[in-house]
Structure formats: structure tokens, C-alpha cells
Structure 1
């Protein structure tokens, strides 16, 4: 059986790593696999097809930022991709992040609807059902808005001038609902996103939840204790760990900044990730973005609590990684961010504020979460078990 993955990256970022690991799992199960990707480079040893060029990405980025035309550029690159699909002739196509300045969704879905190929579409955010941004906020009627505010244009994908949100919403609806129901199955990593799909224009398609998984052979308790010594942190201080690839507004950095002013001297805040030109108070230790998982494991092992103040997220695996290393999680109850914690492994913060974080810390200190319970819960999200669910779905399709 031939399987084609389509994503912006291979092996880079959370989604790119998922695609790479799905390829490995499927190949081990006897599939003939290939990844079509749009940006960066691919690791050696993988059968791949590069969609477009660096200029194609720049051109699509300009159209997106100036004309609010995200997902509708990259015309020639997408036509060449279709030629490749015809030549490769896959039995199943697994779409992942199809936005990211590299694809024309209208040309691709027109083709998919005519060929009647079997398609699995993994949604890693809300962009396919939004008028513009990667995450949506329901309106007062509990519906997905057909027009988002100009504030949403400052988030990815950024739009600097022309705003065509409502028009784009209906263009997406027309494009994404072309496929026959029996030819498309949607996968979401979280129940939260599945619930949104059920009230969206994609509701006619079958939607399954397959959680993102982690490598439990890597993310596990460690005996290393060099971090406090390296940064001169007294052994008596408790470490509050915050991690994000990029600290954009929706990741909640403002709450971390405020917390640093109000937290007692018994805690040390450590922030990991690209600050994107934002500033931190001097009493916060900042570690730049890292793709080194061993370093992350060491950080999890040194910390006392992992805190995730995200304002919008699908199913952040950092919350699972922390538990796998024996670390309790305190997270804002937004999106699917709290779906992987239990009453015995963390605190769901309903008051999305700095005071809400402080209150959650007080609750956590009284509960005395055990590392054993956290580790046991993380086993529900072992990556190979999750990827096997994809293999079963491919074979069913």
C-alpha cells in the first residue's frame, strides 16, 4: 500500500516530527511511504518530494500578508505537486498542516475531489475552519465566527493591510467541502477540536480523535541535577518551568511576566523558548529555544512544576512530556490543553490570570502530587500506540 504525507516540514517542529515518526511507523508495517513538504530540508533516508522553492514561499508570504490570501497562492508549485501525486499514485493521502506559505488549497482540493482518492486529514489547529487565524473563539451564540477582528490578523498568518476575512471563510468552506464524505476522514488530536468540527462546515465528515503521542523511552525521570548548580539556584528554591517554541501572545507570556513580580522568593521561574523581541524581568532565567530533547528532559527533571498559561492550544505535548518525567502540570483550561491531565497529575486553571496561576500553585502545594502518578498517566499517550491507530485507519480507508 502506498501512503503519501503532505506537510510544511519534515522532522522540524512538533508537526514535522509527527509526520516523520508516522512515516517510520508505516514503513515498518510494510507501507511504501513518501512525504511531500514545502519548507526547509528533509532528513536523509526518507523518500520525499519538495513542493516549490524558497521563492515560492516568499511569494506566498507576500500574498498572505498584503492581500490576506493565505492558502490561495503557490499555484504552479501545487500543479507540479499534483503531477507528482499522479505519478506516485498513493492509495491514501494523509494531509497535515496544509497552510504555511507553500500550497494552493483550492487547486489541491479540486484535484482530490475529482480523483476520489482516500484522504486522511489531521488538523493540528483551527485554520481550516476559521476566517483567518490558527485558532478561533466562539461568538456569543456559541458559533464559529465568519469574520474575525483585526487583532487576529496580528497572529499567524499575519496580515498587514487588506482584510478579507469573511470572504476567505466562505472560500474555505467551498474548497474544503468538495470531497465526498466516504473519501475523507478527519483526525483531531483533541476532543476540543473534534467538538469544533462538529459545529463547523466540516461536520458532514467522520472525525476521530487520535491524541499526539510522545517517546517514553526518551521522556522519563532523570537523576541529573546540574541545572541548579549551573545557574546558581539555591537547592531550597522550587523551579516553575514554562516552555514554548515561540512566545507569541496566545502562549501567555504576559502572565509569566506578571507572576515574576508577585511570586514569593521560594520559587525560581525558568522560561524556555524564543521571546520574539519580548522582555523578561531580571529574576527570570531564560533559555533560548532548543530542539535538544535530552536538554528538555533534564529541565523537566530539575523542575517542581510545569506551568502552561496558553490561551489557545490544540493538544500540547509538552504537558505530557512533563508528566512522563514525573512533573505535575498546571495549565489554563483552554482548548485541549487540560485533556491529558487528571486530578492526580495536575491542576486545570479556569481563572486565566496571574492570580489563577498563584491559586493553582497553592492547590498543588497542598495536594503533594506524586511523580509516580504523573508517569503512569503519561503512558496513555505513548507514541507508538497512537501511531498504530493511524495505521489501522489507513488500512480501513
Structure 2
């Protein structure tokens, strides 16, 4: 069995899942290959880097003035198809196919002509909308019957015109009538997709998993490094603090807390955001040092995730694995990892509710994560089972 996975990066959340699954397949003697369009160069014969930095830039520029993400990068995608013809995959496993790196009509035409089995993990909602990756913040439901007059065209993937109606119909035609199994990382997205044009396919839930050998409680000197003293750390972590991640709610919470007892620490801010934070909040720019992140989780008394749009945030899992309880909003799949005894789920915007729950948070530093559901091993074994079942059918 030959399996090829495709994603925009070989790192970040979806990329880490792809690379981890690749390693698991190799360990099981499955002929596994990974493809990505942006980031580092390939280091083995089983990796394929599309290597088209100029093409990525032009694709992004094309999107700005056409709103047609996924319809450029022609030459690099043709080179990819030539490579795929040599591999002759039995299964193609798609992850994020947006991100300015691949031409979808060319890729899906190849899949259709070769009758290839596809597994498609949905890391957001982009595949079934006319433009956006998420729509909860604006309460839009046009994606159910046909997008038009998009009010979010200036959000990622940013465009100065609106082609949402055309995009929605093109995606519906392109993604229909194939041998696809959809995988979502949470029940929320499964329920949403069952209302989209992709409901023609079987939709399975496989929760994202994390490496519990890495994410676990560790002794640390975080409070000494940041001169926090005996205060309880209220931690927030995001890859980027956009409006949908709830930075404004941390600012609101900071006005309510007792600063003699609590210290808010926010990880992942830009230098510009850090400069505008009040002096009572410690802002830390994005770190690629996993050890540092684990120590921050371990030092925190509470992890707060006030997200307004999300799929299934692994930050919740990482905090729980380090023994830190979670407070999050009833947003997307975020509540699905926060069961009784490990945190609280509140309505969006309930900053006062966050303040009230903080003193009741669980204090032990034993792992609060359900490894049977949310470990990397549990996730990978479920994917491998899908592959093997597909091979046998």
C-alpha cells in the first residue's frame, strides 16, 4: 500500500499531524510519502517539497485581486503530478489544500482520472465555503446553499474582490463524485459538514492527538524568569492572536482580576501586539521552543482559551497534558476536550464567568488528559485502521 499525504506546511498543527502519521506508517512498513508546498526542504526520498517560493507569492497576489485561492500554482502542481505518476499512490490523504501552493483543478482532475481513494482531514471549513476558513464570528450560513456577497473577503485568504459565488460552485463540482472519506477532528465540524455539499461522503471523527511524552508536567523556573513571585499564572497560547482568538477578552479580564493574586501571560503575540499590551500583562512572542512552551503550561494555574472561532484546538490538549485545567468558550470543537473535572466551558464573551471560575480550578499537577482519546498514538492508530480497511475493501 502506497499512501501520499499533502499539506501546505510540514510543521504547524496540521503539518505535525501529517509528519507524525508518516512516521507511524513507516514503522508499520507502509510505503508512505509526504508532500508540502511551503517551508523547509525535503530531506529524504519519501518527502516532496514543491519548492516554488515565487509561485506562492504570485498565488497570494493573484488571490488578492481575484479571490481565487487554489486556482493558481499551475507549474508546480504539474510537477507534483509527474512525481505522483511515478509513485502511483493507492491512497492520497489531503490535509490543508489552501495556502497559496497548489492548483486544485489539476490535482482533483488527476485524482478523478486515476480513481484514487482519498482521505481528507478537515482542519477548518475552507473546503465547503466560497471564501472563508471560519464563519462563526459573523454568523454566516450562506455556505449551506451557495455563497455570495461575502462579508469576510478581507479575512484569510485576503481578497479585494468577491468571487465567493463562483468559488462555492466550482468547489462543489470539483469535490463531488469521487471516492472520498472525510475526517474531522471533532464532532462539531462533523455536524457542520453534514449540512454542506460534502455530506455526500462518509464523515468520520478522529480527534487530534498530541505527543504526551513531550507535553507533560515539568519542573520549571518560569515564575523566577518573569518575576511573577507567588501569583497564579493565567495562561493564553495561540499561534496568532487575531480577533477570533479572543485577545480582547484577556484585556477585559485583566481589568477585573486581583493583580496581587493573578498574572496573565499571553504567548504568541506579535512584537506590535506586545508593545500595546498593558504593563500588567506579560506578552511572549511566538516560540518554536517546545520545551519552553511545556514549562509555561506546567507553571500555569489555569489555561484560558477565549476563542470565538475554532476547530479542535490542540492548545487545550497540551495544557491538560501538563496538568493545567482549561476554561474555554462554547466554540467549535473546543469544548470536546474539556470534560467535568478538568475545566469549564462558558458562553462566548463571558469574561465575568472566567473570573468566577478561576478560584475553583483544579490544583494538582497530574495529567488531566484522556490519553485514550487525545494522545498521538490513539489518533495515529485510528488513521492506520482506516488505511488498512480501505486496502482490504
TM-score, with structure 1 as normaliser: 0.92
- Closer, same or farther: CA 272–43 of 1 in aligned 2, 3 Å: farther
1:241 pairs with 2:254: no
Cα deviation digits, residues 59-112 of structure 1 (max 9, x gap): 111111111111111122212211111111111111111111011111211221
Q: For residue 215 of structure 1, give the secondary structure of its aligned residue in structure 2.
A: coil
Match of 1:215 in 2: 211
Q: For residue 8 of structure 1, give the secondary structure of its aligned residue in structure 2.
A: strand
Match of 1:199 in 2: 195
Which of 287, 293, 297 aligns to 2:284? It is 287
Conserved 8 A contact 1:321-1:378:
no
1:267 pairs with 2:262: yes
**Cα distance between partner residues in 2 of 1:141 and 1:162:** 20
**Cα distance between partner residues in 2 of 1:143 and 1:50:** 32
- Closer, same or farther: CA 321–141 of 1 in aligned 2, 3 Å: closer
Moved more, 96-105 or 268-277: 268-277
Structure 1, gaps ≥5 residues long: none
Q: C-alpha displacement at 1:258, in angstroms? A: 2.0
Match of 1:147 in 2: 147
Equivalences for 1:246-325 in 2 at 5 Å? 246-265=240-259, 266-275=261-270, 277-278=272-273, 279-325=276-322
Q: For residue 202 of structure 1, give the secondary structure of its aligned residue in structure 2.
A: helix
Match of 1:331 in 2: 328
Q: C-alpha displacement at 1:148, in angstroms? A: 6.2
Match of 1:131 in 2: 130
**Cα distance between partner residues in 1 of 2:16 and 2:143:** 33
- Closer, same or farther: CA 378–91 of 1 in aligned 2, 3 Å: same
Match of 1:232 in 2: 227
- Closer, same or farther: CA 324–140 of 1 in aligned 2, 3 Å: closer
Cα deviation digits, residues 325-349 of structure 1 (max 9, x gap): 1100000110001111112101101
Structure 2, gaps ≥5 residues long: none
Conserved 8 A contact 1:139-1:145:
no
1:389 pairs with 2:368: no
Conserved 8 A contact 1:328-1:371:
no
**Cα distance between partner residues in 2 of 1:357 and 1:149:** 33
Q: C-alpha displacement at 1:269, in angstroms? A: 0.5
Match of 2:346 in 1: 349
Cα deviation digits, residues 98-138 of structure 1 (max 9, x gap): 11101111121122112111111111000001111111239
Conserved 8 A contact 1:121-1:187:
yes
**Cα distance between partner residues in 2 of 1:344 and 1:19:** 31
Q: For residue 83 of structure 2, give the secondary structure of its aligned residue in structure 1.
A: helix
Equivalences for 1:172-183 in 2 at 5 Å? 172-179=171-178, 183=179
Conserved 8 A contact 2:244-2:307:
yes
**Cα distance between partner residues in 2 of 1:17 and 1:87:** 26
- Closer, same or farther: CA 43–290 of 1 in aligned 2, 3 Å: farther
**Cα distance between partner residues in 2 of 1:217 and 1:197:** 33
- Closer, same or farther: CA 253–186 of 1 in aligned 2, 3 Å: same
- Closer, same or farther: CA 46–21 of 1 in aligned 2, 3 Å: farther
Conserved 8 A contact 1:344-1:369:
no
1:76 pairs with 2:72: no
Match of 1:358 in 2: 352
**Cα distance between partner residues in 1 of 2:3 and 2:154:** 36
Conserved 8 A contact 1:130-1:145:
no
Equivalences for 1:158-177 in 2 at 5 Å? 158-159=158-159, 161-177=160-176
Match of 1:6 in 2: 6
Q: For residue 154 of structure 1, give the secondary structure of its aligned residue in structure 2.
A: coil
Match of 1:53 in 2: 52
1:380 pairs with 2:377: no
Give the CA RMSD over aligned residues: 2.0
Moved more, 329-338 or 71-80: 71-80
Q: For residue 218 of structure 2, give the secondary structure of its aligned residue in structure 1.
A: coil
